[in-house]
Amino acid sequence: MTVTALQADAATDPGALSIDPLAPAPRGMWAGHGVRVARRFDLHHRHNHREGLCTNRFCVQRRGNILTIDHDLTPDELCDELAVLLFDELVETGAIRGRSEFELAFTGVVRSTVDGGMAAWLRFYRNSLRKLESGTTAFAPIHQHAAELVDGPRLIDLGSCFGFFPLRMARHGIEVLATDLSAPTMGLLAQVSDRLCRPVRTLSCNAAAVPLPDGAADTVTALHLIEHLAPELADAVIDEALRLARRRVVIAVPFEQEPRTCYGHVQRFDLPALDALATTVRATHPTVTATVAEYHGGWLVLDR
C-alpha cells in the first residue's frame, strides 16, 4: 500500500481534514494542525523524553497537543513510498495516531525536505512518477493493470488524491478528468499537471455525486477508493461510476487482514467480499456484466 491510498475519506467526506499543500513554511520546516515537522541536518542525538521515540529515520516527541517530528530524508527519497516508511516506523510504533496525523506527517516531510511549496511537490511528483512508471514501486503493477483495462479515449478517475494515475494516462494521450473532494489537492494537481506537460483536468466534488451528465466518459476508474467508504456509500459511488461510464468501470481494492485505519480504510476486502459486491451490482444493474479478479489485490470490472 502506498500513499495513492491517501484518498482516505477525502473523496466523499466533507468533514475530512483540509491541508493546504502549498501553505508558506520556513526553510526546512512545516507546521499545521498541531503537527510540526523539521528536516534534521546535524547528527542524530537520542531523546530521553518519556513520550519520545527515535527510529531509523525519525525522532518524534509529543508534548501536550503538539506532535514534533524530525527526519533526515533527502530530496531524492521523496516519493509515493514515503507512506510505507511512515507506516513502518511511526504508525506501527504508535508514534503517530490516526489518519489526520498520518497525512499531516506526510505533508510535513515533503514540505520540509525541499525549499518552496511547488518545488517540493514537483520533486515528489517526478520521483513518484519515475518509480511508478518504471515498475520499481509496489503500487506500479496496479497502475499498469488499470491502464490496460481502460477502454476508450475519455477517462474519469474518482478519488484521485495526488493524481498519479491520471497523470500516467495523460502521458499516453488519454483525455483525463481527475476528481476529489479536496479542493487544495485538486489545485495542486492542476498546477503540477501544467508544469509536467501532462494535461489533466481536475474537479473538486463528492465521488458519489459528480456534477457531470450521464455517459461523460468511456471509462471510470476508482483505484483503492471504496475500502475507505462504508458499504452504503461505496454502493453509491459505484452507482455514480456506472452512470458516468459509457463502456466500463474499473475498481481496485487492497486485500488486507484488517482495514488499515491510518489510511482511512473502513472496509476489508477479499475475493468472497468482491464476489458478493459483484452479485449486488448485477442485481441492481441487470445490463451490466461484473468480473472479479485478483492481481496485487482485488479487481471488479463492470462492463455494459
- Sorted by where each begins, the domain ranges of the chain are 3-129, 134-303
Query: How far apart are the C-alpha atoms of 21 and 70, rounded to whole Å?
Result: 19
Direct distance between the N- and C-terminal alpha carbons of the chain, in angstroms, rounded to an integer = 30
Q: Which helix (H) or strand (E) holds 225?
A: none
Burial of 20 (0-12, 13-18, 19+ CB in 10 A): middle
* CATH topology classification for 134-303: Rossmann fold (3.40.50)
Question: What are the pLDDT tens digits along the chain (304 aa)?
Answer: 344 434 444 454 444 577 899 999 999 999 999 999 999 987 776 666 666 899 999 999 999 999 999 999 999 999 999 999 999 999 999 999 988 999 999 999 999 999 999 999 999 999 999 999 999 999 999 999 999 999 999 999 999 999 999 999 999 999 999 999 999 999 999 999 999 999 999 999 999 999 999 999 999 999 999 999 999 999 999 999 999 999 999 999 999 988 887 778 999 999 999 999 999 999 999 999 999 999 999 999 999 9
Sign of CA dihedral 218, 296, 161, 260: positive
Q: Which of 31, 87, 22, 20 is nearest to 58 (CA)?
A: 87
> What's the distance, CA 255 to chain centroid?
16
- Tally of CB atoms within 10 A around 288: 17
Query: How far apart are the C-alpha atoms of 19 and 188, rounded to whole Å?
Result: 11
Query: How far apart are the C-alpha atoms of 60 and 162, rounded to whole Å?
Result: 26
Q: Which of 158, 162, 180, 161 is nearest to 13 (CA)?
A: 180
